[in-house]
A and B are shown apart, each in its own frame.
Chain A
């Protein structure tokens, strides 16, 4: 049957062999560095801006009102539309930065805003009575309360960053990227390479997510030991 043909679906052994072969190539590491640096930059940018905008929207209703349609648009418009649109304005080399940024921003923003809106009224009153400055309120009331929202939002968003970032590279085909390698696998029907690269992307995505979550949790540990 067609399924037993290695052309269509490679065996696990051939994928592993291809993976080890990739590990011997310098271009493999260049592709990792190229894609990782761009997707990580975009994801971290989206994370930081999502945090800042959520805190702003929680304080100022006007900011929430202005941001709502923007965030809704980014969340609902298909990522492929954004990729093609962005290609008209950006070079393919910067595309994955922008797309991963765009995917992370609304998820972090929405999760965090929901958390900030659910800060109990009695803690808000305590903050008012003790005349907490914005920074002290952030550390004593807001950040401890939104911890689960921030962690779950970041975990979801960072996974999305890799999916969308690599998709952007497959469409934009920047030279020397992981996306370009995936595209070449498709052109040459090289499913061993396709699956080997997929394993690499999954590993990178998981490692990146773990590293960012570890950094966030370390920040919380410092606050909790204050």
Chain B
């Protein structure tokens, strides 16, 4: 079990997190809360990108897939190039094609990322996170900017990974319900 206990974090004068605890069992957990309340900071602490000022973190696996708030794709490369280079030896063309089809992007592998729309880039970034074959998946607002059909497809894809801990940041309770997720409010 992944646990964060009594986590506190300040950025200079601003206190972002105070005494926050969280447990992540296998399955999908949705982290909800108002903007600026510290959800992303908590994710960054969980994934080791930030250190907490106090508190303890335990059981975090070494292999974590993360979808950041920004897509963080290399714009000048193709979708295939982005996936191949990010996933390394775990890249499998057939699996990538299947995942992209599931995300309603059947023909984008040879396309340059800069030629895609915002929603398409979001799904490519989600595809990369899901294909990373991690023991913990952390998704920061994964469905941001998606229309109803593509959002449903993306949520279905995420639900397929519910056999391991998946932490999803969202503002939408309907998304949490659709994912069949535990909800934790900050």
Partner-B contacts on A (CB < 8 A): 122-123, 125-126, 128-133, 136, 139-141, 144, 147, 220, 223-226
Contacts and interface: CB of A to CB of B under 8 A. Distances in A.
Q: Which of B63, B72, B87, B112 has the most CB of A within 10 A?
A: B72
B34 interface: no
Contact of A130 (B78, B80, B132): B132
Given A125-B68, A128-B49, A129-B47, A144 B85 contact: no
B36 interface: no
Name the 7 nearest CB pairs between A and B, nearest first.
A226-B81, A140-B85, A126-B72, A129-B66, A130-B86, A144-B76, A136-B85
Contacts of A132: 85-86, 88
B70 to A, nearest CB: 6
A129 B64 contact: yes
B112 A226 contact: no
Nearest to B44: A125
B77 A133 contact: no
Interface in B113-167: 128, 132
Contact of A224 (B49, B77, B87, B128): B77
Interface in B53-79: 63-66, 68, 70, 72, 74-78
B82 A140 contact: yes
Contact of B112 (A123, A131, A224): A224
Contacts of B85: 132, 136, 139-140, 226
B84 interface: yes
Contacts of B112: 224
Given A223-B77, A224-B81, 4 more contacts: A126-B72, A132-B88, A144-B77, A226-B80
A112 to B, nearest CB: 17
Q: A-side binding surface: helix, strand, loop or mixed?
A: helix
Contacts of B80: 226
Nearest to B87: A130
Contacts of A144: 74-77
Contacts of B87: 130
Interface of B: 47, 49, 63-66, 68, 70, 72, 74-78, 80-82, 84-88, 110, 112, 128, 132
B145 to A, nearest CB: 17
B77 A140 contact: yes
A175 B87 CA distance: 56
Contact of B78 (A128, A136, A225): A225
Contacts of B84: 226
B78 A126 contact: no
Contacts of A125: 49, 68, 72
B58 to A, nearest CB: 20
Given A139-B85, A224-B112, A126 B68 contact: yes
B86 to A, nearest CB: 5
24 contacts: A122-B68, A122-B72, A125-B68, A126-B86, A129-B64, A129-B66, A130-B86, A130-B87, A131-B63, A132-B88, A133-B88, A140-B82, A140-B86, A141-B74, A144-B75, A144-B76, A147-B76, A220-B76, A223-B81, A224-B78, A224-B112, A225-B81, A226-B78, A226-B81
Contacts of A223: 77, 81
A125 B76 CA distance: 19
Nearest to A130: B86
Contacts of B70: 122
A130 B70 CA distance: 15
Nearest to B125: A126
Nearest to A220: B76
Contacts of A139: 85
Contacts of A126: 68, 72, 86
